[in-house]
Structure 1
Amino acid sequence: MKPEILNRIALLHRLLSRMTLGFVAGALTVLTFPPFSLLLLVPVAYSALFVGLRDLSFGRAFLVGWAFGLGQFGFGISWIAESFYVEGERFGAMAIPAVAGLSAGLAIFPAIAAALFAEIARRGALGNLLACLLFATFWTVAEWLRGHVLTGFPWILASYALVDYAALRQPAAWVGSYGLSFLTVFVAALPVAAVMASGRQRLTISLMALAGIATMWAVGTLRLQSDTEQPPGVELRIVQGNVPQEEKWAPENREATFARYLELSTQPGDFDVLLWPETAFPGFLDEDTEARARIAAALPDGRVLLTGVPDRVPSEDGTRYFNTVQAFDETGEILTGYAKHHLVPFGEYVPFRGWLPIERLTAGLGDFTPGLGPRTLALPGVPLVAVAICYEIIFPGHVVDDLFRPEWIFNATNDAWFGTSIGPEQHLASARMRAVEEGLPVIRAANTGISAVIDASGEIVARLDTGETGIIDASLPSARPPTLYASFGDWMLLALILASWSWAMAPMRRLTTAA
């Protein structure tokens, strides 16, 4: 063979080897997230990508980063396929292509981060420390973009590897989940950077990795030990009906579903607020006088029900449908409500409906209309509450109305779509991070999935697991004072990145000044 052909074969083999390494490393990240939370795999996965990108061209680095993302999302969001089999005859054939296509699309974000990192690292004479900082910066920017572009999908962020570690998740109260991702990836890349370094720099970077972990742990521990406000003295009852998704909307099952929720709600015990999950009532409750009368009979005097229900409103353009949480008092009268504003593409509406001949995966008469945004509800005898319906809880900084801060967050959800997969555990992880970021307890009511009481530090106080039918009776945990992230949002991420680069570049500026 000609030398040029041999060189091309060698280059192709090298690229395929790096892409394979990237795919495996990406797949390993799934084991760092709940329910696995294998923390030691965090430096293994991100260090493998960091090393695999060195000395690559922009295009080749893009492919390696894309392979990493394909491994991460291909395994990390494989649970989405479960939703297609709820109505398997209609949608089952789409399950694998849909997950593969979504994974390939989401993989573009780490691919762009990898390509930019490799290009700048190759062109510039960066030391190992600055290379780690550059790697973490581009990774975090890619995650932030993934959480905002085309409605956003901030699922399995790098920081969620720390959710099950009480002290390590607390820095999110200052810098949010994206900022914690930056710290996680930066510290994760330092060990391999130390191995690649030599002499005194190797020791410096090694000590820096240890110092980073120790600082995050110490800061988190201090927050956990800080004083909290007194609990508000409100008793909650969460009902998890555990109705199979394929049965929920069948007309013949409507009465049995409603009766199940009423029976669970009236079990012995005292409560101030009764919480039902997303679309717990399979119909338009505000229009059903008989159903509201039965709810009134089940509610003790002075008590309030918050329940997920579909809603419809006539308009000039026809009937508009909303996915809502509505509040009812002991007379069965509606007090107030909230309409979900961050809808699930193809689940609650079809984007570009005029062009795409695709049906919604969920039952219903038409696409849902988005609500106006985060809202704080004021209810009699109940602390101010924010509502996030299902998918909305995954969006950092977009759950609470900044003008009227609540004292707790109610997350009404339905993870029955995803069976016993890892999806509900990942969803719960997002809710726990929102609690830390906002300094507010999060109370989850799931049809099935995981119902839980989460305190303001992200600790699970009580839970009902997937597939369980029952109730949780618990006191509402206390809120913490507004966190820095709650006050300034993702500006804290920008401040963290700028401060980190200023700190890292300081020695170079001193050398320039001395010269």
Structure 2
Amino acid sequence: MGQFGFGISWIAESFYVDTERFGALAIPAVAGLSAGLAIFPAIAAMLFATIMQRRTVSGISAGLLLATCWVAAEWLRGHVLTGFPWNLAAYALLDHAALRQPAAWVGSYGLSFLTVFIGILPGVLLVDAPKKRAFVLALFGVAVTGLGGGGVLRLRQDVPPTDIALRVVQGNVPQVEKWAPGSRESTLEKYLRLSAPPGRFDLLLWPETAFPGFLDEDAAARTRLSTVLPDDRILLTGVPDRLEGDGGTRYFNTVQAYDSSGEILTGYAKHHLVPFGEYVPLRGWLPIERLTEGLGDFTPGPEPRTLAIPGAPPVAVAICYEIIFPGHVVDDLFRPDWIFNATNDAWFGTSIGPEQHLASARMRAVEEGLPVVRAANTGISAIIDANGEIVARLDTGQTGVIDANLPTALAPTPYARFGDWTSLALICAAWALIFAVRLTKRRSNTKYSRSEES
């Protein structure tokens, strides 16, 4: 409760955007969600305690068991009821360049396993028998050195910038104004003005719902794009979209690509929607309305896909919190050269939420070996290289642009190839090593006993 109560306290900010309608729900919502999420570490503790009661497990094996239970619960938290893998244990290592690199091999869940297990070892040293302390100390040193050393070796891979020039625009439009009647013109004018300064760019990037309307239906607005898009330049922007069908109108949260003539080239519809923010689960049963403005629930798009854009490297798109899901951002059949994360963190003000959101984006860069470019309405916009290092950023509350070249993509990482199977392989390998050591020790003791009898 303590971890989640503090870690997701930023969610309350979204309720205060429309205080009159939703302000009273802020504290109950955070408390309720924290209690729900706290069930998962409780499951880990219960599973650990149950096994400890039924089997004789101690020392390093007990530490290994707790780390395994903890990560299994984290994995469940990232998948049950659409999942919410926020603030995983691995993110404690994020700001240490070498220590975050093993995520390229075993993903964030595998790195969480290593983080918890290594963190437990000093405790094992204190409570275990004195004769084992030298071994535990040695294991702790090898684990930390191996974790950091492997990361240092990976950091030797060069990630120079490509010749693709980017311009990322952060409009800093307050959420209370974003969908206000009559604000569409001023918002568009602001983004056009910020995009217009002289300077070379190949791709112009606007954040999630940068245009608060249906841009593909607004010919006048699309015509105005030519004023900031020289020939052969492309705009990627977040916009809502709608389709008419026999079942009525369906709404989508999308990123669309436009050329200098205002023609739409391609698009991506968000497939992992935010419960209660973009749709209401079990709408027929729950007497709850959406917490955001809109004409109706959004419809999920297809799974992750790669967009082919003329004159630019192929790109994967992750809209808003889609970037927090390890292994579910990139199309495995058509690998992109970079990831575009369009988001609107204006809902969360100057809280810790945007920094935590950025942390997830940095871990996806390491896992996939791909640069991540974030365009956020009010921050944090950033360009992140394939090692998870921030090349450039605009902080929360800033208005401006980032002009920088797209970093180079690295070869597909083991995690990019095999996903969470690498985490499972790591855990199985750790258990196999422990069992091998125990079996060797048992045979040695048996042999010694027979020798004494002789």
Same fold (TM over 0.5): yes
Equivalent runs, 1:493-508 vs 2, <5 Å: 493-508=423-438
Q: Which residue of 2 aligns with 1:287?
A: 217
> In the alignment, is residue 449 of structure 1 matched against residue 379 of structure 2?
yes
User: Among residues 16, 27, 39, which one is paired with 1:85 in the alignment?
Assistant: 16
2:60 to 106, 119, 129: 129
For 1:88, the aligned partner's letter is: T
Q: CA deviation at 1:227?
A: 4.1
Question: Does 116-125 or 322-331 show the bigger shift?
Answer: 116-125
Counterpart of 1:361 in structure 2 is 291
Say whether 1:304 aligns with 2:304.
no
- Superposed, 1:443-482 pairs within 5 Å as 443-482=373-412
Question: Shift of the alpha carbon at 1:449?
Answer: 2.4
2:27 pairs with 1:96? yes
Give how far 1:509 is off: 1.9
**Residue identity in the other structure for 1:492:** T
Letter of the 1:200 counterpart: K
For residue 271 of structure 2, give the secondary structure of its aligned residue in structure 1: coil
Aligned residue in 2 for 1:55: none
Any idea what SS the aligned residue of 1:383 has?
coil
Verify: 1:382 aligned to 2:309, yes or no. Answer: no
- Identity of paired residues, percent? 71
Equivalence for 2:176: 246
| Amino acid in structure 1 at the alignment position of 2:229 | L
Deviations 1:385-435 (A, max 9, x none): 000000100000000000000000000001000000000000000000000
Aligned to 2:313, the other structure's residue is in SS state strand
Match of 1:255 in 2: 185
1:109 matches 2:40: yes
Counting only pairs closer than 5 Å after superposition, residues 55-94 of structure 1 correspond to structure 2 as 70-94=1-25
Distance 1:495 1:227 in 2: 28
Residue number among 105, 120, 141 corresponding to 1:210 in the alignment? 141
Paired residue type of 2:51: I
One of 355, 366, 382 as aligned partner of 1:436: 366
Provide the rounded CA distance (Å) in 1 between the counterparts of 2:287 and 2:200: 50
Cα contact 1:231–1:479 (8 A) shared by 2: no
Q: In structure 2, the residue corresponding to 1:320 is in which secondary structure? A: strand
Deviation at 1:123, TM superposition (A): 2.8
Give CA-to-partner distance per residue, 1:169-210, whole Å, 9 cap, x none: 000000000000000000001111101123221121122112
Which of 87, 92, 97 lines up with 1:166 in the alignment? 97
Supply the distance in 2 between the matched residues of 1:280 and 1:357 (Cα, whole angstroms).
31
> Which segment is superposed worse, 369-378 or 196-205?
196-205
Q: Which residue of 2 aligns with 1:416?
A: 346
Runs of 4 or more consecutive aligned structure 1 residues displaced over 3 Å after TM superposition: 511-515
Match of 1:394 in 2: 324
Asked if the contact 1:341–1:371 (Cα under 8 Å) also holds between the matched residues in 2, the reply is yes
Alpha-carbon displacement from aligned partner over 1:285-326 (angstroms, at most 9, x marks no partner): 000000000012220111000000000000110000000000
2:122 to 191, 209, 222: 191
The amino acid across from 2:292 in the alignment is T
Amino acid at match of 1:90: R
Compare relative contact order (CA 8 Å, sep 6+) and give the higher one, 1 or 2: 2
- Contact kept, 8 Å, 1:377 with 1:385, in 2: the verdict is yes
2:401 partner amino acid: I
Aligned residues: 445
Q: Cα offset for 1:513?
A: 4.7
Structure 1 residue 512: Cα displacement: 4.5
Q: Secondary structure at the match of 2:139?
A: helix
In structure 1, distance between residues paired with 2:223 and 2:81: 42
Name structure 2 gaps, 5 residues minimum.
Answer: 447-454
Partner amino acid, structure 2, of 1:457: N
Secondary structure of 2:314 counterpart? strand
Question: Matches of 2:237 and 2:392 in 1, distance apart?
Answer: 20
Asked if residue 180 in structure 1 is aligned to residue 111 in structure 2, the reply is yes
Paired with 1:352 and 1:120, the residues of 2 have a C-alpha distance of: 36
**CA distance in structure 2 between the aligned counterparts of 1:260 and 1:301, rounded to whole angstroms:** 22
Alpha-carbon contact 1:232-1:383 (below 8 Å) kept: no
The structure 2 residue matched to 1:351, chosen from 278, 281, 299, is 281
Name the residue aligned to 1:510.
Answer: 440
One-letter code of the match for 1:279?
T
Note the 1:139-158 alignment, pairs <5 A.
139-158=70-89
